[in-house]
Amino acid sequence: MNTSPIDMLETPAAVIDLSRMLHNIARMQQRADDLGVAFRPHVKTSKCTEVVTRQTAAGARGITVSTLKEAREFFAAGVTDILYAVGMVASKLPAALALKQSGCALQIITDSLAAAEAIVAFGKAHAERFEVLIEIDTDSHRSGVKPDEPVLFDIARTLHDGGMVLAGVLTHAGSSYDHDTPDALVAVAEKERAGVVRAAQRLREAGLPCPVVSLGSTPTALMTRGLEGVTELRAGVYVFFDLVMTNVGVCTTDDLALSVLTTVIGHQVDKGLAVLDAGWMAMSRDRGTAKQKIDYGYGQVCDVDGTVVPGYILGAANQEHGLLCRAASKEGTAGLEATDPSPVETDIAERFPIGTRLRILPNHACATGAQFAQYHALADDGQLSTWSRFSGW
């Protein structure tokens, strides 16, 4: 019996379907090109140099990071144009300064007058001009200044008059994840665009510079009908996609590039369960699909080749054990409706014998990826490459 490289992997293992990932990268880059804007991918999803190298090769201009450790790692790997897209605080300015003094073209963000004052004071004390974007809140999702708030001018003038580089404005429509129809997503995308453009216009009308107008989330990037007034698009999870995104409606399970390889290690026949060696330490505790139209539990079950096994999900998880169960399905949908009972699969041990290898598609690719120190990139010919992934702050 011939064995393939994937058969030799210890489980659980994070597997990237290379052709799917490359297709996702090309799709989003083409989207940015068609919209006439620069594309700056958010690399917190993969935190992997080999993935980012392929995004850059496809045409990305710079990257977005969520931690300064990401900035250091990718700068060391040769990426110099980096946006740290989490609000800056005084305690992190020394790390940002070290990056800039090493030659990194680092941009930072703020939505606070107090933080802007701290950036100015630190910059003056170290003879450094930080490039700063002001975060704009266009959907009340998380953070940022409302486009019409007076404090926008206070922050901008503090930075500009204090000798920093007022690089522009940016926003993120995180609320797009809460929608699942084309019309709703188009509306969120336009609200995102209009809000950040409005903020940029106000700054320019006040005589303040605003060269960069940056926005993006995976759903709005794919659903927007135009980006007039915008210079830069950002998106992150698109590189792998996940089950949350399938529920949102911007991809299908055939687009999901990240999965967790797992092995059947036991059964609870009376309950219709197969026990896997991938629990929440492998999948993460993210249950992002629980409130969506299809609840996939902790993940969608696929065979070892990555083909969805309709009607089976990872219904429950302990730290190192996952419980595969039969899920109610309709119209061929492979998920579990939150209100439907899960029927007992009486021949579960015959359907999934001990030793069976499966792959589980994750709810949230960023969270599942974070459980692993490496990825195994699987090419169409079955060959595997091992790629390091870093974590921490």
Q: What percent of the chain has pLDDT over 70?
A: 95
Predicted local distance difference test score (pLDDT) of residue 335: 42
**Cα 299 to Cα 322: distance, rounded to the nearest angstrom:** 10
Q: CA quadruple 314, 318, 319, 323: dihedral positive or negative? A: negative
Predicted local distance difference test score (pLDDT) of residue 342: 56
The residues pairing with 82 across neighbouring beta strands, listed in sequence order, are 63, 106
For the stretch 203-262, pLDDT in tens is 999 999 999 999 999 999 999 999 999 999 999 999 999 999 999 999 999 999 999 999
Predicted local distance difference test score (pLDDT) of residue 331: 33
Band of pLDDT at residue 328, cut at 50, 70 and 90? low
Domains of the chain by start residue, with CATH = 36-239 (3.20.20.10), 257-388 (2.40.37.20)
Predicted local distance difference test score (pLDDT) of residue 330: 40
Instruction: Write down the residue that tokens 């302990």 correspond to.
Output: 318
Q: What are the φ and ψ backbone dihedral angles of 219, each rounded to 5 degrees?
A: -65, -45
**Residues 28-47, mean pLDDT to the nearest whole number:** 98
Residue type, 319: Q
| Pairing outcome for strands 13-17 and 258-268 | antiparallel
30 to 21, 115, 177, 356: CA distances (angstroms): 14, 36, 22, 39
**Residues 346-371, mean pLDDT to the nearest whole number:** 96
User: Is it the case that residue 317 has pLDDT exceeding 60?
Assistant: yes
**Residues 50-54, mean pLDDT to the nearest whole number:** 98
| Pairing outcome for strands 212-215 and 165-170 | parallel
The widest CA-to-CA distance across the chain, in whole angstroms, is 73
Peptide bond into 12 cis (omega under 30): yes
User: Is it the case that residue 190 has pLDDT exceeding 90?
Assistant: yes
Band of pLDDT at residue 343, cut at 50, 70 and 90? low
User: Is it the case that residue 338 has pLDDT exceeding 50?
Assistant: no
For the stretch 103-125, pLDDT in tens is 999 999 999 999 999 999 999 99
Predicted local distance difference test score (pLDDT) of residue 168: 98
17 Cβ contact list (under 8 Å, min separation 6)? 256, 257, 258, 259, 306, 378
Predicted local distance difference test score (pLDDT) of residue 333: 39
Task: State CA 30 to chain mean position distance.
Answer: 18
Residue type, 41: P
- 116, 87 Cβ separation under 8 angstroms: no
H or E element at residue 25: helix 18-35
SS3 content of the chain, % helix, strand, coil (to 5): 35, 25, 40
For the stretch 71-94, pLDDT in tens is 999 999 999 999 999 999 999 999
Predicted local distance difference test score (pLDDT) of residue 2: 67
For the stretch 6-19, pLDDT in tens is 989 999 999 999 99
347 Cβ contact list (under 8 Å, min separation 6)? none
User: Is it the case that residue 21 has pLDDT exceeding 50?
Assistant: yes
Instruction: Write down the residue that tokens 């995180």 correspond to.
Output: 174
